[in-house]
Structure 1
Amino acid sequence: MSIPEMDMNPEIARKLLEVGEEFRIEGPFFSYEEIKMGNVNHTYKVNYIRDDGTGMAKIKSFLVQRVNTYAFQHPIELMQNIDRVTEHIREKCPNTKSLHFHHTKHGVNYLMDNDGFWRLSNYVPSVTFDTCDDLNVVRSAGEAFGDFQLMLADFDANSLFYTIPDFHNTRKRYEKLKEDMAVDPCNRVAEVREELDWLLSVEDEACRLTDLFEKGELPLRVTHNDTKINNVLFDEKTHEALVVIDLDTVMPGLVGHDFGDAIRFAANFVEEDCDHPEKAGVNLNIFWAFAEGFLKKTAASLTKTEVDTLALSCFALTCELATRFLADYIVGDKYFKVKKPQHNLVRTRCQIALAKDMLNKMDAMNAIVQDCARRYKETENA
């Protein structure tokens, strides 16, 4: 099959054609475009020509990704997680729009060759939002992540592979911070003593989710673990949520991990690397909208302890990320990409300011969660 003469890199086009053939995609290859969103994997929208049933040509698109195996060092297990979760959702909710990863003739949803580790999925026409002040969009995002939880409520989380072990083990994140503080390889500890002292002063409260799980008081669930609003695809016209994407970090976790991280990201008044930490804080309108959407879908399936710790989870996830930023700053900025001097310290201070504001507003956040949970449980029982 020849490749059309278009404004494409011939080597990339030929490789994408080969990948499509391995995943048994029918129809002439037409074109591709690289999608720049995302900082980890290389993603391409690949277009094929199909007959629309009347003899006229139409375009059928797919997403092809070359997975970053440096970031994800167990890609086969990662894809097995994705396969099991997406197929469970498709079988349980056949009329719901979902991600579908195609399989090769060998029955696996990945291709490993000399050029990398590849996967191919359906393409969903949509829009995304990096940040959003539209409460209807935020509420819809909450519903999408709540739906994700609900559709997997009967899935055995223990059967999944931990793609990143101890990812949200807050106790171990604090232990790492203390170890790096003791070694102080870059002589930076004296500079960050105020931030260290505050984070250590709230350690027990920040680690309460982890401690409750260790005591068996919080159930293990399938969690997304990257619940940024830009990991939801929205309808181009109505802005209703269509489907949750980016399932690379799907693994066992706590429901608060997904709720807390979504709030930490979406409800902060400023971006997480704002140079003015005094402006950081939790926007209760955004918090309320997301909580409404999330609990509309999950209230009936959550335990009392899960509901009672959702507001706390926001504080816990914010402190956890602050420890990670600060530990990375102490050891010389080895993990997170930095674009300016003290970038990780700036991030740390912004997260600490957000966490402090969450503590001040914890009663209000709890009241919002309890009200939403009560209303939607009553609706479910009506």
Structure 2
Amino acid sequence: MEEPLLQQLATFYQKPFANPKVFGTGLINHTWKLSAGQDLLIIQKINTHVFEHPGWIDENLNMLANYFSKHFPGYLFTAPLQGKYGNSLYEINKSYYRCFAFVNNSHTLDVLQTTNQAFEAAAQFGKFTALLNNFDANKLHITLPDFHNLALRYQQFENALNKGNQARKAGAKEEILFLISQKNIVERWQNFIEHKEAGKRVAHHDTKISNVLFDETEKGICVIDLDTVMPGFFISDVGDMLRTYICPVSEEEKDLDKIFVRNEFIQAIQDGYFTEMKQCLSQFEQDHFLFSGEFLMYMQALRFLTDYLNNDIYYGKKYETHNLLRAQNQVQLLKEFQVNL
């Protein structure tokens, strides 16, 4: 961060900012950790290519902060700090910044290693949604429209089959046929979201392990990275945990033989999430706990393969078949997961 920008931010937030250093491993926003006297703070520049309305994120976070402050003042909610004009978002040259207090004696994990970590993370995401059970989720802005709209993702897949790179299509025949054969997942998802006992709630929508703060004893503290918090269904949060926690390797793994399901991690996620959320979920929702994993794994496979057929315009690539391999990875994970159902 250049000195002129640092001083402008210091003036806006009325704090003696110093020693900014790039922080974290997030891929979306630019993040710095810096000092302000005896305090440690986080500055983030919002990625407006992904989030076109930064003000909506800011309004969402402030609405939730006010709700927590009134109803659950003991809950640690990482709300943005207010600037000198009473607002928390600072704009300069069409770039948007916000500031957070750094949570002392906390850390994040990039790789989940134990069932206890899975339990704690699931409990924290469950607690976040459970505490907001009486908050009207429809008050929140939709910061990423259609983010988990599976019907739209399948339509985009079909469009890519018709209009995408036909040479790539020929080389991905096996994956294409499998995803088409699983279209019933789209129908089951549609039936779920339209069911009278499927509640629309405040959902995080990005429940990877790095979005939970842990203390020094590996106890969960709170959830972070709240830009994707918006109205949704519990299957989005649980599904993303199942997709990213239960396999020992990531979606980048090239060796498909390394992809398998750790059943003890499925149980840890369910136990942790239900510790906080079971009383909020209908029996119909509880019965769809494992479907959450099918939904998210299938959707991510669709998205990777769609991008591959569209010449890698969304996710980008590090090598020619990168998104095809990512799709193969998620297809294999889905197959392994379905064996356990």
Would you call these one fold, judging by a TM-score over 0.5? yes
Asked whether the equivalents of residues 205 and 237 of structure 2 are also in contact (C-alpha less than 8 Å), the reply is: yes
Aligned to 1:201: 181
> Aligned to 2:28, which of 8, 23, 40?
40
Aligned to 1:150: 130
Q: C-alpha displacement at 1:89, in angstroms?
A: 2.3
Show CA shifts across 1:100-154 (max 9, x none). 2112243322011226211111111311111222221221111111111111111
- In structure 2, what is the Cα distance between the partners aligned to 1:100 and 1:166? 25
Identity %: 31
3-state SS in 1 of match to 2:284? helix
Asked whether the equivalents of residues 211 and 224 of structure 2 are also in contact (C-alpha less than 8 Å), the reply is: yes
Asked whether the equivalents of residues 206 and 237 of structure 2 are also in contact (C-alpha less than 8 Å), the reply is: yes
Show CA shifts across 1:199-222 (max 9, x none). 111111244123321344411111
Show CA shifts across 1:182-209 (max 9, x none). 1133532111111111111111124412
Asked whether the equivalents of residues 61 and 79 of structure 2 are also in contact (C-alpha less than 8 Å), the reply is: no
Aligned to 1:274: 253
- In structure 2, what is the Cα distance between the partners aligned to 1:84 and 1:29? 27
Asked whether the equivalents of residues 109 and 210 of structure 2 are also in contact (C-alpha less than 8 Å), the reply is: yes
TM-score (norm 1): 0.85
> Aligned to 2:165, which of 162, 169, 185?
185
> Aligned to 1:20, which of 7, 10, 33?
10
Show CA shifts across 1:69-92 (max 9, x none). 112111111211122123322332
- In structure 2, what is the Cα distance between the partners aligned to 1:60 and 1:13? 19
Q: C-alpha displacement at 1:339, in angstroms?
A: 1.3
Aligned to 2:39: 60
Instruction: Number of aligned residue pairs: give it.
Output: 340
- In structure 2, what is the Cα distance between the partners aligned to 1:38 and 1:210? 31
- In structure 2, what is the Cα distance between the partners aligned to 1:216 and 1:190? 42
Asked whether the equivalents of residues 169 and 210 of structure 1 are also in contact (C-alpha less than 8 Å), the reply is: no
Amino acid at match of 1:183: K
Aligned to 2:74: 95
Pair 1:239–1:13, CA change in 2 (3 A): farther
Q: C-alpha displacement at 1:227, in angstroms?
A: 0.2
Q: How does 1:44-123 map to 2 (within 5 A)?
A: 44-49=32-37, 59-114=38-93, 116-123=95-102
Aligned to 1:173: 153
- In structure 1, what is the Cα distance between the partners aligned to 2:142 and 2:94? 26
Show CA shifts across 1:146-172 (max 9, x none). 111111111111111111111111111
Farther off after superposition, 345-354 or 81-90: 81-90
Aligned to 1:55: none
Q: How does 1:340-351 map to 2 (within 5 A)?
A: 340-351=319-330
- In structure 2, what is the Cα distance between the partners aligned to 1:267 and 1:150? 23
Amino acid at match of 1:161: H
Q: C-alpha displacement at 1:178, in angstroms?
A: 0.5
Task: Check if 1:159 corresponds to 2:149.
Answer: no
Amino acid at match of 1:138: A
Pair 1:105–1:210, CA change in 2 (3 A): farther
> Aligned to 2:117, which of 122, 130, 137?
137
Aligned to 1:328: 307
The gaps in structure 2 that reach 5 residues or longer are: none
Asked whether the equivalents of residues 31 and 46 of structure 1 are also in contact (C-alpha less than 8 Å), the reply is: yes
- In structure 1, what is the Cα distance between the partners aligned to 2:78 and 2:187? 34
Deviating above 3 A after TM superposition, structure 1's stretches of 4 or more consecutive aligned residues are none
Asked whether the equivalents of residues 197 and 282 of structure 2 are also in contact (C-alpha less than 8 Å), the reply is: no
Aligned to 1:366: none
Amino acid at match of 1:35: F
- In structure 1, what is the Cα distance between the partners aligned to 2:279 and 2:34? 41
Q: C-alpha displacement at 1:326, in angstroms?
A: 0.3
- In structure 2, what is the Cα distance between the partners aligned to 1:278 and 1:90? 48
Q: C-alpha displacement at 1:234, in angstroms?
A: 0.7
Show CA shifts across 1:292-331 (max 9, x none). 1111010111111111111011011100000000000001
Asked whether the equivalents of residues 207 and 316 of structure 1 are also in contact (C-alpha less than 8 Å), the reply is: no
- In structure 2, what is the Cα distance between the partners aligned to 1:216 and 1:191? 42
Q: C-alpha displacement at 1:19, in angstroms?
A: 1.1
- In structure 1, what is the Cα distance between the partners aligned to 2:170 and 2:35? 55
Farther off after superposition, 106-115 or 154-163: 106-115
Amino acid at match of 1:249: T
For the aligned residue pairs, the C-alpha RMSD in angstroms reads: 1.6
Asked whether the equivalents of residues 13 and 31 of structure 1 are also in contact (C-alpha less than 8 Å), the reply is: no
Q: How does 1:311-326 map to 2 (within 5 A)?
A: 311-326=290-305
Aligned to 1:214: 194
- In structure 1, what is the Cα distance between the partners aligned to 2:173 and 2:290? 28
